[in-house]
Structure 1
């Protein structure tokens, strides 16, 4: 891909004379909104933008990645960890397409990611002249991958587009957003005296008090309610805890929602424990979650009502199957709901304790090798540490069983399930929280998708730690080939480098841990470093985790 091109002397003189142009407005607008980091790669269509970033480098740090997908995943990790917009920029065409998997992941997760994407000159869009990096309809492609999209045709509109996009990203679950910036728009001068326009903020959402009152009535009359929480509830974790503890309602959270209730809390359940209670549930309350697995895999009990609080009216299947849908940000809805609920006499529910203990014991017995590794990681990682789980055996189990005590400390790729995302995402999370420990859990297959971003982490001294559980194969796919397809094993064996030596060749730390105890020690040592560390953990075949992390009901479960 062409990321550099000779400029004529006239063009260099023109750049030197420019004082305020579209690119300057873009960067100053980001600064106005508190953006301090931009991930990305330079290229000819972005030259004016990177020039402006250079001029404002004391206020905005540029983390230059080795691949566009890495830049976009870093912005995703930053957004997930910080709860604030993660911004990246890439050239059009192949640059945008390279970032596409990460944009799709941000869409699946509703993450506040802002993509600043180059274009061809505004006068040539759609002309099919064969311009460098031109696509037949880039705007059409991008607009279908994001929740907010704008193609800017004048420098005067650049600031407004950025403010509008960041306003939208301020609404939980409404990311990602993309702005396409043609190079002539970025380079064009803006008349003196022009200042970046500010978009009108979105109006505050009005509560549908009648629907909240109906939900309050349902809670008062319910005897065996359950709350299912998703990432959309993380910003309302305090309110959700108040509701759960005041009325004795268990909270079921897995993956990105873990830590909304401390996993040590008697009311904190994962799917395996919740399955023990499902058949007797008379009210399920879904807060910021699609509730996909329970609603698809578990027969709905007769008489059970489903209430959904979600800002996204398309959050299927929960919204589609809801008896009561409250379209609202959980941060607004839950305080309103609590106000409508008087003090209740909460009946004792010993079955909750039994379900929690039963689920934990079943998982320990069935998945002992994975659980040993998870305990080692938990023992070394501080309470506020962040883990990013790739599609790998230990990662799968961690999504259900990793003991999290704080919300936002476990990052997944949501329903997109993008293999290889964890390492670059963890880099972005570490940039968001430089004083917290961040660990990527990867397999040998997934790590190699973006392994060269070690160069980025070393260059910028980003002390992220990556665990590579190395079984020499795409283990999950191979298991399916063996058990479902009669042993037709193909394209799943891997040829790998010496991972510790590979890491050291970039200037990072590389280690090998063969036991859980060695892993715990290696992690403890790595947490004291300001350079990245790769820890390879050689492993054999793990037990199949799926019946336990996405379980059927007890009479359907294996084992």
Structure 2
């Protein structure tokens, strides 16, 4: 009869679920687990500098691969609490992150011992479920439950508190026998819709004159082809929800781009003018609509397809909701409409959209010809459109510059865009890019950040260099917290406080860490420098000096109470 300790058993469970990468920060509470990882040649450990950014890496790894992203906080107390922001972000992104956190020994549990905090209560609001392993016989079972919970629709993060004495205890073959009921059948949890609902959707689309498809994360992280096929059949432009501009490749003829306040005027107008809106895998959440009919037709018949029953009709009344897999539903409706030909009204609708989309793209190219110094954001977007390769994955931060970037870049291979979505987190993009690259080593990864956000996470330059993770980071350096300074300018009479940022030369900092560093101050140097950085053989950081006055108040609606009180500039 063979024996192994709790750390070794945990690694067996990771292996049984196909885990090949673990992000983490070492701590004494989980030494048996780290020791077991030492012998796991099939599992790569990526040592991070902060547990929060480690979660972002695991989050992007999960979103771009469909496999669970695993983060290990080795120490209870402060090591575990550092996970909170990252897990809150993953929760809003429906990202299947499995977080393992060290916990105090069961003997000292709830005695207010060294570095003890109520970790179960702390993590419950920011996870799908929090597990506590206090009995050795439950270790394998609860870990397997954690993976199943994270992966089952809708996916999301979970946390497992691993008490240090449970990890140290010995197990024999009578306890948690291998293979520990590997998580299987998750795909089978994605149901197809009943025939009656498929027929109702087909009837509405058949008679629609101004149909629109809204594609969200439920398309992006599944399959886009069935959605594109349905759009072609019924003559519907495809609008994407916020943060999911890559739900369908931007080269597709039906692609309209992102809707709503964070999107473009063509896509938003389509949703405002439509008579039938088929919403596939989207909540129609805040960043897509601001929960307002200013951004979506009040009179349209809305069909909403989601894997989360609570999302159906939550923000806008629907003609009917469908609890089903979004691409699967698109395929079902396509079958039901076999032989359909759009009428003249639909053809005119689609042709008008095509012309407006073409005009928008041409306008963007003209705006990108601005060669002023300091560099304008529109000039940077044009340079990126000219240099980003076909296979690129773009990660974005929150903040006014990155929000402008959402809808102006090309996304050709879905998934190709990873953002903080509705959590609006600054300091996300760099770490997310590292996780995306580890999950997709053959693809190019480019991360955009403001200078303030990048300043939060520069310690992870060390992680990238040490682990050989070769991404490109473009720091949009304007020396300010852009969104907030814009609000102070527009609504508070230019009474600035806390809005300016003093930064080191990030290109020089990169070289100190052993990465490549580049600086750009002239517009004409953008394309050549970005291309050189992307072609680098290790992490490359490009510090771009951006006009500090190129500020934009995205949330003007939040300051209606201040109307007429600002500087008016």
For normalisation by structure 1, the TM-score amounts to 0.89
Kindly state the Cα deviation for residue 362 of structure 1 after the two structures are TM-superposed.
6.0
Distance 2:313 2:363 in 1: 28
Q: Which residue of 2 aligns with 1:174?
A: 155
Deviations along 1:267-310, one digit per CA (max 9) or x if unpaired, are 11132212333343111111111223337233454541111111
Change (3 A) 1:413 1:117: same
Matched, 1:73 2:69: no
Distance 1:549 1:492 in 2: 18
Deviations along 1:57-103, one digit per CA (max 9) or x if unpaired, are x1101000011112111111211222221110113222222121111
Distance 2:548 2:233 in 1: 44
1:468-487 matches, within 5 Å, as: 468-487=475-494
Distance 1:159 1:484 in 2: 56
Q: Which residue of 2 aligns with 1:276?
A: 269
Distance 1:43 1:20 in 2: 21
For normalisation by structure 2, the TM-score amounts to 0.87
TM-align CA RMSD: 2.4
Q: Determine which of 424, 446, 455 is the counterpart of 1:448.
A: 455
1:255-334 matches, within 5 Å, as: 255-270=242-257, 271=259, 272-292=265-285, 293-294=288-289, 296-299=291-294, 301=297, 303-315=299-311, 321-334=317-330
Kindly state the Cα deviation for residue 495 of structure 1 after the two structures are TM-superposed.
1.4
Distance 2:194 2:97 in 1: 29
Distance 1:169 1:442 in 2: 28
Distance 1:355 1:76 in 2: 36
Distance 1:249 1:453 in 2: 44
Aligned length: 529
Distance 2:315 2:293 in 1: 17
1:114-129 matches, within 5 Å, as: 114-125=98-109, 127=110, 129=111
Change (3 A) 1:435 1:342: closer
Deviations along 1:527-555, one digit per CA (max 9) or x if unpaired, are 333321111001113545566999xxxxx
Q: Which residue of 1 aligns with 2:164?
A: 183
Distance 1:132 1:401 in 2: 50
Contact 2:3 2:173 in 1 (8 A): no
Q: Determine which of 220, 223, 227 is the counterpart of 1:240.
A: 227
Change (3 A) 1:77 1:206: closer
Change (3 A) 1:445 1:59: same
Matched, 1:355 2:339: no
Deviations along 1:107-131, one digit per CA (max 9) or x if unpaired, are 1110111111121112433x2x222
Kindly state the Cα deviation for residue 450 of structure 1 after the two structures are TM-superposed.
0.8
Distance 1:392 1:518 in 2: 24
1:516-555 matches, within 5 Å, as: 516-541=523-548, 543-545=550-552
Distance 1:318 1:236 in 2: 24
Change (3 A) 1:419 1:312: same
Any unmatched runs of 5+ in structure 2? Answer: 260-264, 371-375, 558-569
Change (3 A) 1:280 1:393: closer
Q: Which is further off, 248-257 or 304-313?
A: 248-257
Any unmatched runs of 5+ in structure 1? Answer: 1-17, 551-559
Contact 2:212 2:274 in 1 (8 A): yes
Q: Which residue of 2 aligns with 1:5?
A: none
Deviations along 1:493-541, one digit per CA (max 9) or x if unpaired, are 1111121111111111111012344222222222333321111001113
Q: Which residue of 2 aligns with 1:4?
A: none
- Aligned-partner SS, 2:223: helix
Q: Which residue of 2 aligns with 1:146?
A: 127
Q: Which is further off, 331-340 or 231-240?
A: 331-340
Change (3 A) 1:366 1:513: closer
Distance 2:102 2:355 in 1: 56
Contact 2:312 2:321 in 1 (8 A): no
Q: Determine which of 113, 121, 124 is the counterpart of 1:131.
A: 113
Kindly state the Cα deviation for residue 333 of structure 1 after the two structures are TM-superposed.
2.3
